[in-house]
Amino acid sequence: MRIYYRGPDAFLTDEHFIWNGSERADFVIRDLREVGRIRSVAAGLSTNTVLVVTTALAFFVAGWLMVAPAAAYPLSLVVVAASVATLAVRQRRKVSLWQVQATYRGSRVTIYASSDERVFNQVTRALSRAIEDARSSSAPYRLAA
């Protein structure tokens, strides 16, 4: 048995690809078809959420101005600072999620996913080698090693 990759979240041999994701998944290398890489970007809060929260806080401050104007001025600064901080955090929270999808025994499945690009590239290179070796060993006139 040849081991192509061994890590905390994946184990890849010449026969099996095991992903220890949210649920453990075991795939037979020879049954993988149409293997492809996909990158998706997941952002933090949506712009609509920020607008709704800011609007609600602005109405709260406006109401407070009518009741106690002196206390409302510092509160309005807090509302503006919170809105700016929320927008700044939203811009920084964009996270790439890398996935390997394939057709496995007739179904389209995600066989691996990671937000760490370096580890993802290591796993996909190993998977590519394992698939190439599995297909070349099935050639009818291959010489024995």
Stated pTM of the model? 0.61
Domain interval for residue 123: 3-42+100-137
- Average pLDDT estimate for 83-88: 70
Question: Are 21 and 88 within one domain?
Answer: no
Does any domain span residue 30?
yes
Asked if residue 90 has pLDDT above 70, the reply is no
CATH number at residue 116: 2.30.29
- Average pLDDT estimate for 3-26: 93
Does any domain span residue 143?
no
**DSSP state letter for 106:** T
Distance CA 144, CA 115 (A): 40
- Average pLDDT estimate for 81-85: 73
Q: What pLDDT is recorded for position 46?
A: 61
Asked if residue 92 has pLDDT above 60, the reply is no
36-78 pLDDT, tens per residue?
A: 999 987 655 566 666 777 777 777 777 766 777 676 677 677 7
Q: Give the sign of the dihedral formed by CA 58, CA 60, CA 64, CA 67.
A: positive
Dump strand ranges (E) for the chain: 3-6, 10-13, 16-20, 24-28, 32-42, 95-104, 107-114
Asked if residue 145 has pLDDT above 70, the reply is no
Distance CA 40, CA 114 (A): 11
113-128 pLDDT, tens per residue?
A: 998 999 999 999 999 9
The number of distinct structural domains making up the chain is 2
Does any domain span residue 120?
yes
